[in-house]
Structure 1
Amino acid sequence: MQMNDSQRIAAPRDKVWEALNDPEVLKAAIPGCEELIKHSATELEAKVKLKVGPVKATFGGKVTLKDLDPPNGYTIEGEGSGGVAGFARGGAKVRLEEDGLEATILHYDVDAKVGGKLAQLGARLIDSTAKRLAGEFFTAFGEQVAPAAAKEEAGDALPDASAAAEKKGWLGGLFGGKKQEADADKTSEPAQ
């Protein structure tokens, strides 16, 4: 499976780099992560519980960071086993690009292989699950790195929703009121 994408994070590149190397931030952002232990600057160990289609498993694995180029990026290589569910191994090249002074574009290229029951599920299910998990990771990672920006984006969405509700209420009142008046006229008219 191969996947590449990029994500804009509302934080300076140095802050994003720090977060990418902070096990607590990563643990909070990785979907299903139960444990993330940093053994050294380049070695981590993780325990992640995932559901891929009908297969649920807890994966334990080791992750190695290579080609470190602070604050520009690195390469991640890892391998994990989920017992009878199967295994996953692969790597990702992560590159950080400044987007102005207060934002960073995080680019990633992933190449992974799965085996066991996971491989039997089919490429479409695995690809769609991987994309969903990547989306969940970046949403949570962005909230960890730039919580104020995430709240502002959520706050920006609220006025639009409330304005739409007000408009709907106003239109509903306008049209609902006329209908109620017409219904009242019908009931007050004497039967002929």
Structure 2
Amino acid sequence: MKMSDTREIAAPPAAVYAALLDADTLKACVPGATEVTGNAADGFEATVVQKVGPVKATFKGKVALSDMTENEALTISGEGKGGAAGFAKGGAEVRLAPSDTGTTLSYDVEAKVGGKLAQLGSRIIDGFAKKMADQFFSNLQDHLEGPADPATEDADAAPEAEKKGWLGRITGKS
């Protein structure tokens, strides 16, 4: 299956590119990653725990970076084995371009699965793969842009506090 998307990230292309080469950043951004070791030159080894439909598996695999053009593009290729659950492999061509707000990141992803995972059906697998790619790039964006504005979070928390106060007044508990 193949998918493509574009994202605006409020960080310069150099920062986005550097983040894609950093094991700690990858561990923070890959959904379900419990371990990511290695470096961009030699490749990374990763352990990822995921549940796809009724199948939960721990995938151990390798990730390699190639076709690297500093601050502009790179290709990420990976393959992991999940024991009886099967295997997953794929890659992403990532392109970075400067924009008015920071960086326009666009990607084309291709993924394949085998074993029990392949028996789940293409609709479940395609949906899961799209969700994983979206979540990775959302996590990368959040990692680079920092946490949400605290003023916004406080405003969101205030209505909840008012609800508790209102409920407390009705029940006579504070």
TM-score bracket for this pair, using the shorter chain length: 0.7 to 0.9
Supply the distance in 1 between the matched residues of 2:88 and 2:132 (Cα, whole angstroms): 15
Matched, 1:111 2:117: no
Higher strand share: 2
Supply the distance in 1 between the matched residues of 2:157 and 2:53 (Cα, whole angstroms): 37
Supply the distance in 1 between the matched residues of 2:83 and 2:91 (Cα, whole angstroms): 20
Unaligned runs of 5+ in 1: 170-192
Cα drift, residue 39 of structure 1: 4.5
Higher helix share: 1
Letter in 2 for 1:110: V
Which residue of structure 2 lines up, in the alignment, with residue 139 of structure 1?
138
Aligned residues of 1:92 and 1:108 also touching (Cα < 8 A): yes
Q: What's the TM-score, normalizing by structure 1?
A: 0.76
- Name which of 136, 142, 148 aligns with 1:151: 148
Question: Identity percentage over the alignment?
Answer: 48
SS at match of 2:94: strand
Cα drift, residue 46 of structure 1: 0.6
Letter in 1 for 2:30: I
Moved over 2 A (4+): 154-159
Q: CA RMSD in A?
A: 2.4
Letter in 2 for 1:145: L
Supply the distance in 2 between the matched residues of 1:39 and 1:11 (Cα, whole angstroms): 22
Which residue of structure 1 lines up, in the alignment, with residue 93 of structure 2?
93
Cα drift, residue 134 of structure 1: 2.1
Q: What's the TM-score, normalizing by structure 2?
A: 0.83
Number of aligned residue pairs: 163
Q: Superposed, which structure 2 residues align to 1:1-192 within 5 Å?
A: 1-100=1-100, 102-147=101-146, 150-152=147-149, 155-156=151-152
Structure ID, larger Rg: 1
SS at match of 1:151: coil
Letter in 1 for 2:29: A
